[in-house]
A and B are shown apart, each in its own frame.
Chain A
Amino acid sequence: MRPIVLNPLFLKLYGRVCAVTASSAPVLEHLSWVYDGCRLQRSAPAAVRLGLFGDENHGYKVTVDGIPAAEEPTLLAALLHLDLEILRRPLFLNPPLLGFHASWIARGSRAVLLVGEGGCGKSSLCHQMLSLGFAYGSEEVAAFSADGRLLPLPRRIMFKPDNPLIPQLGIRQDARNLLAGFDGRFYVLPPGVSLASSGFYDCTFVFLHYQDDGPELEARPLETLDALQRLCGAAFRLQAMSSSLFAALVGSLSPERAVAVNYSSPGAALAFLLELADG
């Protein structure tokens, strides 16, 4: 029996159209909501087609242009894999874009890129800065065109269920969030958030490290080699490293533009970022 395939969801990511199909209505409803800032209201010629098919008995497949890219035993694992493909596949289309795992927000011509491992506070700080009037670039991917324009990706910000901002801000779970039933994560955006436009920004790279028993806040400029090593790690997380990305990172980094921030106080980190963003 042929699997039922629902009408695709059309997303515009970094200016490229991506069609997402699935054999499960809740999957599409979830993605449609998480990516509502990128959703196209009508069908459009897709540059890449992604899919998620399967069931609990036979497992799940994630496809890219009809070719299986991964097999996963659970819907949660398959959906997370599909989400990663949605974020990264459009980067590889011609002409390729340069992308790495980072959050970014902007004010005027300045952009702050937050880089760090999971749990370093990127999402919380990004959300708080948006609430303070910064324009939203992306929570997951900093993508650059070949000529150096930073391209926004207005996907909802993901909070893990133990994020202290959830009770503080009175955030409630949304019925369209399929993943709430699996691992309790939240997807949020502050009300009335403004979106950053694609363009040339004066970028500062902030490498975050949260340490519960560490100093309240310790910030220091990073040497190019150290910053480069960390940014390459962020590119590897998206499996997006290329010779052009490496050359662009080398060209754009300098100790004036790269700061390592170790902190235990989220309030102090936010104050530091605000000062940094305002020059």
Chain B
Amino acid sequence: MLKTYQLKDDLLMAEKDEMLYVLDLESGRIHSFNQTGKVIVQLCLEPRSLEEISGEYRQYFDLEADPAREDVTAMLEKLASSHLFKEGCAPSS
């Protein structure tokens, strides 16, 4: 079964000056994301696979496949280590 990534529900989000701020209501911690991070975070609002996210991200920023996948993988790892995914979602190693 294809692994998918989706942000958990108890998050509040707000944008300012091209930054995205995400408040995790469970931990009380706030995370900030720049423009590239923001796109990946927003792609994770719905369940998507690494391939789907990388494809959308690549198209959005007009990137080659490999650097796009590297960016996305690094961001997914960051989101996972910040416990922002729904239970059971984790980046593939």
Name A's B-contacting residues (CB within 8 A). Answer: 224-225, 228-229, 232-233, 236, 241-243, 246-247, 249-251
Q: Are A251 and B16 in contact (CB under 8 A)?
A: yes
Q: Are B21 and A250 in contact (CB under 8 A)?
A: yes
Q: Are B28 and A236 in contact (CB under 8 A)?
A: yes
Within the complex, what minimum Cβ distance (angstroms) separates B47 from chain A?
22
Known A225-B21, A241-B23, A246-B23; contact A232-B16, beta-carbon cutoff 8 A = no
CA distance A232 to B28 in the complex (A): 8
CA distance A23 to B13 in the complex (A): 44
For the complex, is B46 an interface residue (Cβ under 8 Å from A)? no
Which residue of chain B is the closest to A247 with respect to CB atoms? B14
Name B's A-contacting residues (CB within 8 A). Answer: 12-16, 19, 21, 23, 25, 28-30, 32
A-B interface, 10 closest residue pairs, ranked by CB to CB distance from nearest: A250-B14, A247-B14, A246-B12, A225-B32, A243-B12, A250-B16, A229-B30, A250-B21, A246-B14, A246-B23
Within the complex, what minimum Cβ distance (angstroms) separates A183 from chain B?
28
Q: List 20 A-B contacts (CB under 8 A).
A: A224-B16, A224-B19, A225-B30, A225-B32, A228-B30, A229-B30, A232-B30, A233-B28, A241-B23, A242-B12, A246-B12, A246-B13, A246-B14, A246-B23, A249-B14, A250-B14, A250-B15, A250-B16, A250-B21, A251-B14
Known A225-B30, A225-B32; contact A232-B14, beta-carbon cutoff 8 A = no
CA distance A197 to B68 in the complex (A): 53
Known A250-B14, A250-B16, A251-B14; contact A241-B25, beta-carbon cutoff 8 A = yes
Sample of 10 more A-B contacts, CB < 8 Å, known A232-B28, A233-B28, A251-B16: A224-B16, A225-B30, A232-B23, A241-B12, A241-B25, A243-B14, A246-B14, A247-B12, A250-B16, A251-B14
CA distance A232 to B14 in the complex (A): 13
Within the complex, what minimum Cβ distance (angstroms) separates B26 from chain A?
12
Within the complex, what minimum Cβ distance (angstroms) separates A91 from chain B?
17
Which residue of chain B is the closest to A251 with respect to CB atoms? B16
Give chain B residues whose Cβ lies under 8 Å from the Cβ of A247: 12, 14
Give chain B residues whose Cβ lies under 8 Å from the Cβ of A250: 14-16, 21
Give chain A residues whose Cβ lies under 8 Å from the Cβ of B23: 232, 241, 246
Give chain B residues whose Cβ lies under 8 Å from the Cβ of A243: 12, 14
Which residue of chain B is the closest to A223 with respect to CB atoms? B32
Give chain A residues whose Cβ lies under 8 Å from the Cβ of B25: 241
CA distance A249 to B14 in the complex (A): 9
Within the complex, what minimum Cβ distance (angstroms) separates B35 from chain A?
15
